[in-house]
Structure 1
């Protein structure tokens, strides 16, 4: 039955019964808008010719890129011709293709034709051909001869105009070589925007000739708390070590830093342009400016450069010297970047320092009622200046609070501010979706992360679909680098989540089962591109496992070629540790550490599986318990759930599911769920607790899942042996700010995880 459903899914997603092998035969990410499978293959040999007519000379750069790719396989460039013939690859101009990035690809056993109207469309077609060719072509000298392409007919164009990735180079720096590698990945997966976060409190990364101190002073720092945290973590994970190439000794101190000269940036922009990627600069203001203030102390209202209650001291919107500085900086930025957009941030501004006489005077003069209006004044003034330079302004959705003009483009990131997209649409602002809950790739990944990205609604279902579809330009994922100090760590955090987003913004169709099948074929290519991707999650176990008599560790591998190595002595497995057998018997309490290795030598995460022997917990007696759990809620900031014990509760309510009651919701809060779990049959149960921020689950007075602390939405699991009947449950959950997630599921005897039924909850 499962096989039939799988075949039916493939037919529905491709529109042809002959597409039963589509994911294997056409492992394309993102999947084309239209793909019609065909029989046979086209073979590329040294005799194959590359045809480029006079009308198609506009594609000369794309033809050269295709030549470079094929040279890796056949050993020499293909001969060129102006007229297509038998056994040729033709790049053809097609005026009937209306989408700027649209293309057609026809592969028959006799000929290959790539057709487009614009060079960008032809480049996307070349990337499709690239993905259909063997991964070995990514390395010179590793190609296989002859090369074959599967016959197919493709008509393709993107669903969204804005398909972006972001990289924060301020918190931790990444050099030109890595940016080129990053852009190569964007090109492979048909992204067209690179958002560079160039300045922040921790570093100013772009040369500004008018203010050389911005990089002389602002680009370097002694180790901060983020660096120190990374150094501590590097003891267990070498990818968390600071890159030594960005360290220098100065005045007897070690400093971390780096920056791009304007010539460096011109090279980056040119490299991006050749791949039809637009580079959007972000110069964050008026907040997130400590690096600039260190170099130019005159920028603040109060002469200080420190942290307020939540955020850092901003620059002063009430002094004309501030605007002189901003305009000088943005003049150079606007001249350097050909993108029509400049991003100014305008988020997380600590406005308490604006309570000065100069600000009071300005507010009275301009009729400004409060500090949010003062930020609005700053943002609007900066936007008018950018417009005078022929640029459009982008800012984070925070800037909606004081009011903005309809001409500003809004990036929606605060997923806990549910009405921000509707406010932007009502105001007439173009929108780019980048919600923190889904598209902040600095959030630690778990086994659900890829699917979560894939299921993203670029146009949220609660918005009017007609107006929203016109206003929403697309989506973008962000990589903030406070805890990402190395290139390997950046690769790990981005891949493979980037591939899921690529399909969301290009294809805009839900074909998740097909996508997973295709994704498996991309890992060898990523390895050859020296991408330290996150090895897919192992399954079939819980990191907190229990048994009553004996059990067996049988791990499910997501990729057949993975080699699993393990230890039982507490040490971390290495490439020489024993290979895990298909079934490892467990007869006594023990700790198994497990690591998956790819054939290329890439190392996966370390799994620590702690086995405890437990008798089935004895149920408790309770007279006619009522349905539901008691939820006691607290307002406050709790780093750990146990801290609620010291706080005064705001109130309590009965809930029929493990969900935060509306009465508890606040910016920062905690909830204690208490009662009984009415277990229908005796067995070993696995519970899965997803928390953002943190939580713990105890059953029958036994710790089952410890997912405590402040972190993004992560699932952790644990097991417990329970007899049929009532067992005390204690679930504690805390939210430290910025939106929350709480989800509890269970499984028994290897079943699929499912929601805990309401009928099980008693108090």
Structure 2
């Protein structure tokens, strides 16, 4: 009897579980909202909107702007806006003030077949509700001048929603490459769709000054333009294979016999953009980076340096001089005009990557340090930063700086933007001191890092609160943002590709803070049609079913499933780029000889996603080596120098040599840049085709049995590359070289056998 009851109970629980999962699946399909609301309760039926439906808005005009934003969607759909009313009417859309909603951006949304009620305490909360409705409506509501519809349908639902974090930001560097006002408006519109609320504009750097300052006109007359630099040239070299790397021609001019790249925003243009963002409840935070990264300004006004010179140091450009009053006069004049343009209570001063060597040689700096009791150069930088913060505070503004401003001491009122992932205690230290912290570590939140299949899950699974903080200290972490540095992003299309769709993952982490990755992926599929209409040149979902380097002993099969139903997979075998009329991969392709295959997914309009270059090599199984005696672990040689390529690490005597029981960056590695050489044997347990997955930040190469398996070399962010090799059971020599250029400290090696799931290399395989 007990057994029967147990079986019956188990079956009952299984049925309940399947039912819950099915309902959750239906909810995802029916309510494909990103970021997912804090609380969503499905309901039955739909509310039908017709041109006769009215929008009821309180007479106090609190939500007038939000009603306009909502009505714009209906005007697109019906060819005219819905009529508004201040008095309740049947079958209407009611915008309602609710003092009981505590969160500034919180709202409730009730949709039934008879009524839509949206309640909020603030306009920002009401706007967030409008974005939820926007995503529940069909994607074509984004289209102006479309063929008018007779009706729209919204699914019944009860939503209570508010954000987990106050700072939900995106950063865009407009200095290295310039972006039009029209593009920034599109960027803001997409941010608003996903409830992001902070746009950090990096307006100045060595490569260009992008904002008009009337007191110093040469900042834009000269500082906004340049001849093509090394980054421009590198991008142009890549353009033939990928047109997204071509510089936007609207930012190229011909003047005085020179071809110049650049541009700037007038104060009037930027004020218009600020107003556009404010209507969408997005705060634009300007960054004027000081005291480093100021070459564009120093070229125009040489008095800003300690010695009148402007050149590159070992790593960074020479900074402005914090020891001359003329520097502070300049800085205060610039920021006064910036404050007139940007009403944000936040001003970003940068403060990162400063070459202080000239300060040590300056008589003015020596005198200032003696007079003020400043002990070292980091403290001298803090003197500059702290003095500027006083100026900001006097004008009702709060200062943000990159985490380097902690080094010489900083006030508790400064806001720290943490980016240096190799200094993990920086945000913990700042939060414990009482400073507010914005998390933006390079991995995974530098969206200029080349995206791959791991990029979206890395963002989605990012922990906003670092380890080592109490609950009270954790409240000093006010949110996060993703940064887009544009040295290698020369066009608006390339910028779209780099930030979308991974921005949607960050949006959900920051708003909902209750990760459900499988649900998110289902809802993400529903977003692509809307992004197409919004003209966002997003990165298509990854293709799978292959590696970059594939081997086989007899034959292999290439089979690729389309990640979206409207994509077609096309390929070439002659080395040319696949185009819209290339051969369609409609069934598995049998491969019997060594060859190179290039393939890509194509949208119906002929545009395509990433081009995958697949190498197939026919190999015999590599014979194992006979070794008299082996010990556990690999021999690792550590070279404490900077290398641009792992291939450049010499075979000379290393600085240190040790036995490594795992393949990873050693915990004791402290040098900002170094190279590692792992040597020994891999003891594989059986014959087969072995796949290896090498993730490096910066670069690395892998050879096994004297065959090249993975080439992931170069200075880059954390990227996984993979390859295969045919091995017989036994010992095979392994050579893995790795370089760290400063910042990433990431080295991982996984394997799979005959197509199994990737897993870590077992320690017992590593021998020397």
For Structure 1 versus Structure 2, the TM-score category normalised by the shorter chain is over 0.9
Over residues 134-193 of structure 1, what are the superposed CA-to-partner deviations in whole Å (9 max), with x where a residue is unaligned? 111111205754321111110000000000001111111111101100000110000110
The aligned residue for residue 648 of structure 1 is: 653
The residue correspondences of 1:452-531 to structure 2 (distance < 5 A) are: 452-460=458-466, 462-531=467-536
The reply on whether 1:122 has 2:126 as its aligned counterpart is yes
The aligned residue for residue 198 of structure 1 is: 203
- Per mean C-alpha deviation after superposition, the further-off stretch among 71-80 and 363-372 is 71-80
The reply on whether 1:95 has 2:108 as its aligned counterpart is no
Q: Work out whether residues 208 and 214 of structure 1, in 8 Å CA contact, stay in contact via their aligned partners in 2.
A: yes
Counterpart pick for 2:713 among 708, 713, 738: 708
The residue correspondences of 1:18-97 to structure 2 (distance < 5 A) are: 18-55=23-60, 57-97=61-101
In 2: Cα distance, 1:730 partner to 1:244 partner = 46
In 1: Cα distance, 2:431 partner to 2:84 partner = 51
Q: What SS is found at the alignment partner of 1:618?
A: coil
In 2: Cα distance, 1:547 partner to 1:188 partner = 47
Counterpart pick for 1:415 among 421, 446, 450: 421
The reply on whether 1:108 has 2:120 as its aligned counterpart is no
The aligned residue for residue 443 of structure 1 is: 449
- Give, in angstroms, the shift of residue 9 of structure 1: 9.8
- Give, in angstroms, the shift of residue 258 of structure 1: 0.7
The aligned residue for residue 393 of structure 2 is: 387
Gaps of 5+ in 1: none
The aligned residue for residue 156 of structure 1 is: 161
In 2: Cα distance, 1:443 partner to 1:647 partner = 33
The aligned residue for residue 565 of structure 1 is: 570
The reply on whether 1:132 has 2:159 as its aligned counterpart is no
- Give, in angstroms, the shift of residue 601 of structure 1: 3.5
The residue correspondences of 1:748-763 to structure 2 (distance < 5 A) are: 748-763=753-768
Q: What SS is found at the alignment partner of 2:326?
A: helix
Q: What SS is found at the alignment partner of 1:445?
A: coil
The residue correspondences of 1:105-254 to structure 2 (distance < 5 A) are: 105-140=109-144, 141=146, 145-254=150-259
In 1: Cα distance, 2:498 partner to 2:617 partner = 32
- Give, in angstroms, the shift of residue 557 of structure 1: 2.8
In 2: Cα distance, 1:476 partner to 1:416 partner = 18
Over residues 108-148 of structure 1, what are the superposed CA-to-partner deviations in whole Å (9 max), with x where a residue is unaligned? 12211111110000100000000011111111205754321
- Give, in angstroms, the shift of residue 235 of structure 1: 2.1
Q: Work out whether residues 665 and 746 of structure 2, in 8 Å CA contact, stay in contact via their aligned partners in 1.
A: no
Q: What SS is found at the alignment partner of 2:484?
A: coil
Q: What SS is found at the alignment partner of 2:584?
A: coil
After TM superposition, which residue ranges in structure 1, 4 or more long, deviate above 6 angstroms? Answer: 4-7
Q: Work out whether residues 7 and 20 of structure 1, in 8 Å CA contact, stay in contact via their aligned partners in 2.
A: no
The aligned residue for residue 361 of structure 1 is: 367
- Give, in angstroms, the shift of residue 18 of structure 1: 3.4
The aligned residue for residue 630 of structure 1 is: 635
Q: Work out whether residues 306 and 362 of structure 2, in 8 Å CA contact, stay in contact via their aligned partners in 1.
A: yes
- Per mean C-alpha deviation after superposition, the further-off stretch among 306-315 and 663-672 is 663-672
- Give, in angstroms, the shift of residue 722 of structure 1: 1.1
Q: Work out whether residues 19 and 37 of structure 1, in 8 Å CA contact, stay in contact via their aligned partners in 2.
A: no
In 1: Cα distance, 2:306 partner to 2:677 partner = 44
Q: What SS is found at the alignment partner of 1:173?
A: coil
The reply on whether 1:676 has 2:684 as its aligned counterpart is no
- Give, in angstroms, the shift of residue 434 of structure 1: 0.5
Counterpart pick for 2:439 among 433, 440, 457: 433
Q: Work out whether residues 284 and 344 of structure 1, in 8 Å CA contact, stay in contact via their aligned partners in 2.
A: yes
- Give, in angstroms, the shift of residue 463 of structure 1: 2.3
In 1: Cα distance, 2:362 partner to 2:18 partner = 64
Over residues 35-62 of structure 1, what are the superposed CA-to-partner deviations in whole Å (9 max), with x where a residue is unaligned? 111122222122222222325x311111
In 2: Cα distance, 1:8 partner to 1:400 partner = 51
- Give, in angstroms, the shift of residue 84 of structure 1: 3.5
- Give, in angstroms, the shift of residue 748 of structure 1: 2.3
The aligned residue for residue 5 of structure 2 is: none
The reply on whether 1:699 has 2:699 as its aligned counterpart is no
In 2: Cα distance, 1:232 partner to 1:246 partner = 18
In 2: Cα distance, 1:665 partner to 1:35 partner = 48
Q: Work out whether residues 631 and 653 of structure 1, in 8 Å CA contact, stay in contact via their aligned partners in 2.
A: yes
In 1: Cα distance, 2:161 partner to 2:93 partner = 19
In 2: Cα distance, 1:224 partner to 1:620 partner = 50
- Give, in angstroms, the shift of residue 77 of structure 1: 1.5
Inter-CA distance 672–646: structure 2 relative to 1 (3 Å threshold): closer
The residue correspondences of 1:724-743 to structure 2 (distance < 5 A) are: 724-743=729-748
Q: Work out whether residues 317 and 355 of structure 2, in 8 Å CA contact, stay in contact via their aligned partners in 1.
A: yes
- Give, in angstroms, the shift of residue 80 of structure 1: 2.3
Report how many residues are paired.
755
- Give, in angstroms, the shift of residue 660 of structure 1: 2.1
Inter-CA distance 143–505: structure 2 relative to 1 (3 Å threshold): farther
Inter-CA distance 255–394: structure 2 relative to 1 (3 Å threshold): same
- Per mean C-alpha deviation after superposition, the further-off stretch among 126-135 and 143-152 is 143-152
What is the TM-score normalised by the length of structure 2?
Answer: 0.96
RMSD of Structure 2 on Structure 1 (CA): 1.8
The residue correspondences of 1:577-616 to structure 2 (distance < 5 A) are: 577-616=582-621
What is the TM-score normalised by the length of structure 1?
Answer: 0.97
In 2: Cα distance, 1:124 partner to 1:7 partner = 34
The reply on whether 1:690 has 2:691 as its aligned counterpart is no
Over residues 183-213 of structure 1, what are the superposed CA-to-partner deviations in whole Å (9 max), with x where a residue is unaligned? 0011000011000111111111111111111
In 1: Cα distance, 2:233 partner to 2:506 partner = 32
The aligned residue for residue 405 of structure 1 is: 411
The aligned residue for residue 639 of structure 1 is: 644
Q: What SS is found at the alignment partner of 2:631?
A: coil
- Give, in angstroms, the shift of residue 645 of structure 1: 2.4
- Per mean C-alpha deviation after superposition, the further-off stretch among 76-85 and 395-404 is 76-85
In 2: Cα distance, 1:145 partner to 1:617 partner = 68
- Give, in angstroms, the shift of residue 642 of structure 1: 2.1
In 2: Cα distance, 1:254 partner to 1:743 partner = 44
Over residues 301-341 of structure 1, what are the superposed CA-to-partner deviations in whole Å (9 max), with x where a residue is unaligned? 01111101111011111111111111111111112211001
Q: Work out whether residues 136 and 143 of structure 1, in 8 Å CA contact, stay in contact via their aligned partners in 2.
A: no
- Give, in angstroms, the shift of residue 654 of structure 1: 1.6
In 2: Cα distance, 1:520 partner to 1:217 partner = 46
Q: What SS is found at the alignment partner of 1:190?
A: coil
- Give, in angstroms, the shift of residue 663 of structure 1: 4.2
In 1: Cα distance, 2:554 partner to 2:611 partner = 27
In 1: Cα distance, 2:672 partner to 2:226 partner = 33
Q: What SS is found at the alignment partner of 1:645?
A: coil
Q: Work out whether residues 51 and 150 of structure 2, in 8 Å CA contact, stay in contact via their aligned partners in 1.
A: no
Q: What SS is found at the alignment partner of 1:605?
A: coil
Q: Work out whether residues 102 and 157 of structure 1, in 8 Å CA contact, stay in contact via their aligned partners in 2.
A: yes
The aligned residue for residue 323 of structure 1 is: 328
Counterpart pick for 1:350 among 346, 352, 355: 355
- Give, in angstroms, the shift of residue 602 of structure 1: 3.1
Inter-CA distance 760–269: structure 2 relative to 1 (3 Å threshold): same
The aligned residue for residue 284 of structure 2 is: 279
Gaps of 5+ in 2: 1-9
The reply on whether 1:396 has 2:402 as its aligned counterpart is yes
